[in-house]
Amino acid sequence: MRSLSIDPGMAVRRKLIWCFFWTNRKAIRSEGCAPFHINRIVSDEITFRPEHGDALTLTDELLHQVEGDLTARKRVAFTITLGAETFDLTFHNDLLSVAARRNSELEIEIVESLQDELMRGKPNFCASFIKRLGIDLHA
């Protein structure tokens, strides 16, 4: 598991999308264009799982719950699959921890990419990725 301190001034929704984007981008090399599935979200108060065994849809209601927890500095963990790889992303107190279950080198690559972008001062992600997640960035 690798960890990174993330800018506390960055909007929570933007922070989530940005971390999801780099997880997806780095996994593509080993997993191809496999679907990005969020399988579980666990906070201090509630666990979200998909209803029909598919993947969670990041609805506005779900995102508002997650944003509220992160703003209150509570721990929120995501289990994400891309192909045969499973990632555990945990946000707590402006710290992101990334664990890859099959290929730990991906953890290093994800954290290094996020660090590089933070140092450049322009954390960014591809607009088409937002559409792929079905998230409204400005809600």
**Consecutive 10-residue averages of pLDDT for the chain (139 residues):** 90 90 91 89 90 82 92 95 96 95 95 91 78 73
Using an 8 Å Cβ cutoff, are 23 and 15 in contact?
Answer: no
- Contact between 31 and 86 (Cβ < 8 Å): no
Other C-beta atoms closer than 10 Å to the C-beta of 135 total 19
State residue 1's pLDDT score: 94
pTM check: above 0.85: yes
Domain ranges of the chain: 2-133
